[in-house]
């Protein structure tokens, strides 16, 4: 405690301690995520518990430093320290260990979840079940798969209830109202002000989502009939081609306009080239290198997990890692040779390049300007995966055809715009859980109320409190805040438009790519190097020249599709 009399000395010591604890936790969690068994689960939970206990102790020490003694940089470090982890456990060691075990257990239950649909020879994992939802058009099969996977939440429900209690105790010990308020405090504004900012952004994009929803409902009604899809009202979630109805792009063949030209099939092209998982990652690395950024270190290729091992359970959910918080960069994926995973690999490397760019900053600044920035960087690169880019790297030839603009935009809207309300719901629900606005007896009921309110979807069958449907989403089971993804789906278009301008790329936003632009790379690199040292409006201004998040870039990108959807929806109800 004596070192708090010298704030600079205190933060040096705090960051040294946190770095050691964080590396230990990262290594243990990597082993657990890539080799799930009871021993690795225990090691991971213990390392996380030590990190939470250390963070809690240091955060309390920081609050004892008079504000008048803190300079601007130290004041920022003090704020970031209090909310540096998405989970703060109570200072009681036993409770800290308990909440860490609960999170590890819920994550393990999710990762090991399987279900055997009717006619299957053996239980299928989430990837295989998701393929059925994407490809089948039999509503009975879709309902069976949807219901079967959602059972994964049942057993973790008691664990989740206890986790909420312990997490809130930890957040309150360092001055937050609850864990949800702690998460919202990371956005350089008061928690309530951030909630209002989210509402403002949603209001900008809601009419576009409602138009896409109405068009999708009309086409699905024509496919499945009025007994399954109403003329107006919410859409049954299992018909939307995704386990959580969060992305609808697999429905493109059903929803594309007549006589449309879908153009190339990226999955088919990758398969024809005999592309390997490592080859997919090499393409993504080459994109960043084309911007003037350095290649990934050799250890990345030695230590990453690119494919699902055959001999053990792993967490297949794609993620990017910086194990030593300097340059031990890795990704963890079960890569499949698909267009979707091609984009996902570009996204994950966006995290890695961000991590390396700020690796020389003091530890508490080694993070994104806010977590939405971290998610948006890779997605911004993904928006440059266009026919122009694919032609430049030799995947696409003029003979393959780029397709028409309308189909291209519809497919991308079914991927991006359909996600926006789900991106809101996951944390809106958790904010209410953490605040106590909803209790355990109403978890599932309120989950579906919010999904109907924002997404306009309903479950295929009635749900009650014997189920725990939020637990069927990895981020809920693993204590990962989700609002970052909503923000990223706004920011990526704002970033994309600004970077295209800096690269001197003219023409429609949806056809432009920054591949090969050193000027776009310079502006991007300058933003990444800032890490969390400055508040996010400063980072946003560096990249875009603007100081507020805005959906204008998104609306500009999709303008032709928006006009077309409005025409298609004439005479049909919009909304639910």
113 close to 152: Cβ distance less than 8 angstroms:
yes
Q: What are phi and psi of 458, to 5 degrees?
A: -135, 160
Please state the φ and ψ torsions of residue 315, each to the nearest 5 degrees. Answer: -90, 105
Catalytic residues: 317-318, 347-348, 351, 375, 475, 485
Q: Mapping DSSP to helix (H, G, I), strand (E, B) and coil, where does residue 305 land?
A: strand
Q: Which of 359, 444, 479 is nearest to 107 (CA)?
A: 479
Residue 437: strand, helix, or coil: coil
User: How many residues can be counted in the chain?
Assistant: 576
Q: 240: which residues sit within 8 A by CB, 6+ positions away?
A: 216, 248, 251, 418, 457
Can you give the C-alpha Rg of the chain in angstroms? 23
Q: Are 238 and 133 in contact (CB under 8 A)?
A: yes
CA distances from 406 to 258, 280, 399, 409, 558 (A): 11, 27, 20, 5, 9
| Cβ–Cβ < 8 Å for 371, 481 | yes
Nearest to residue 424, comparing CAs of 469, 468, 482?
A: 482
Distance CA 81, CA 19 (A): 12
- Do 355 and 329 meet the contact criterion of CB atoms below 8 Å apart? yes
**Which residues neighbour 193 within 8 Å (Cβ) at sequence distance 6 or greater?**
none
Cβ-in-10-Å burial (0-12, 13-18, 19+) of 512 comes to: buried
Contacts of 18 (CB under 8 A, 6+ apart): 51, 54, 55, 58, 84, 363, 364
Cα–Cα distance list, 228 to 218, 446, 529 (Å): 12, 23, 51
Residues 6+ apart with CB under 8 A from 495: 376, 377, 380, 543, 544, 553
Q: Is the dihedral of CA 508, 574, 216, 240 positive or negative?
A: positive
């Amino acid at each position: 405690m004596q070192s708090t009399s010298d704030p600079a000395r205190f933060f040096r010591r705090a960051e040294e301690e946190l770095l050691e604890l964080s590396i230990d936790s990262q290594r243990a969690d990597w082993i657990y995520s890539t080799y799930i068994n009871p021993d690795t689960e225990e090691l991971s939970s213990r390392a996380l518990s030590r990190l939470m206990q250390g963070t809690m102790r240091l955060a309390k020490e920081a609050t004892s430093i008079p504000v008048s003694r803190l300079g601007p940089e130290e004041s920022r470090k003090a704020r970031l320290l209090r909310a540096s982890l998405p989970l703060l456990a109570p200072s009681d060691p036993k409770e800290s260990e308990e909440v860490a075990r609960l999170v590890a257990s819920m994550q393990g239950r999710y990762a090991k979840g399987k279900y055997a649909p009717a006619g299957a020879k053996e239980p299928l994992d989430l990837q295989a079940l998701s393929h059925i939802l994407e490809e089948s058009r039999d509503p009975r099969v879709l309902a069976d798969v949807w219901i079967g996977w959602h059972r994964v939440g049942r057993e973790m429900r008691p664990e989740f209830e206890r986790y909420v209690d312990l997490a809130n105790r930890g957040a309150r010990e360092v001055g937050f109202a609850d864990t949800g308020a702690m998460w919202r405090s990371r956005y350089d504004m008061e928690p309530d002000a951030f909630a209002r900012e989210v509402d403002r952004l949603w209001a900008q994009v809601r009419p576009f989502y409602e138009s896409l929803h109405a068009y999708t409902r009309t086409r699905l009604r024509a496919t499945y009939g009025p007994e399954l899809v109403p003329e107006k009202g919410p859409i049954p979630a299992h018909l939307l081609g995704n386990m959580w109805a969060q992305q609808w792009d697999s429905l493109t063949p059903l929803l594309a306009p007549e006589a449309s030209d879908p153009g190339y099939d990226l999955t088919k092209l990758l398969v024809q080239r005999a592309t390997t998982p490592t080859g997919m990652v090499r393409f993504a690395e080459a994109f960043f290198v084309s911007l003037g950024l350095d290649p990934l270190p050799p250890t990345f290729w030695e230590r990453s997990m690119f494919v699902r091992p055959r001999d053990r359970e792993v967490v297949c959910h794609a993620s990017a890692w910086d194990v030593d918080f300097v340059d031990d960069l890795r990704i963890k994926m079960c890569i499949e040779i698909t267009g979707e995973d091609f984009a996902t690999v570009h996204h994950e490397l966006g995290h890695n390049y961000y991590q390396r760019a700020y690796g020389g900053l003091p530890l508490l600044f080694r993070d994104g300007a806010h977590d939405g920035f971290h998610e948006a960087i890779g997605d911004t690169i993904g928006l440059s995966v266009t026919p122009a880019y694919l032609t430049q790297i030799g995947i696409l030839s003029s003979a393959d055809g780029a397709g028409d603009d309308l189909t291209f935009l519809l497919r991308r809207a079914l991927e991006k715009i359909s996600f926006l309300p789900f991106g809101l719901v996951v944390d809106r629900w958790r904010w209410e859980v953490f605040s106590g606005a909803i209790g355990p007896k109403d978890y599932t009921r309120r989950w579906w109320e919010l999904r109907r309110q924002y997404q306009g979807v309903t479950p295929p069958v009635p749900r009650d409190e014997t189920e725990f449907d939020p637990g069927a989403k990895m981020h809920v089971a693993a204590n990962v805040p989700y609002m970052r993804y909503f923000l990223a789906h706004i920011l990526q278009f704002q970033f994309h438009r600004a970077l295209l301008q800096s690269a001197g790329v003219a023409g429609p936003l949806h056809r432009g790519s920054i591949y090969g632009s050193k000027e776009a790379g310079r502006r991007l690199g300058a933003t990444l190097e800032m890490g969390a040292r400055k508040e996010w409006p400063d980072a946003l201004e560096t990249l875009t020249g603007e100081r507020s998040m805005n959906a204008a870039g998104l609306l500009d990108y999709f303008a032709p599709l928006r006009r077309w959807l409005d025409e298609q929806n004439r005479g049909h109800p919009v909304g639910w």
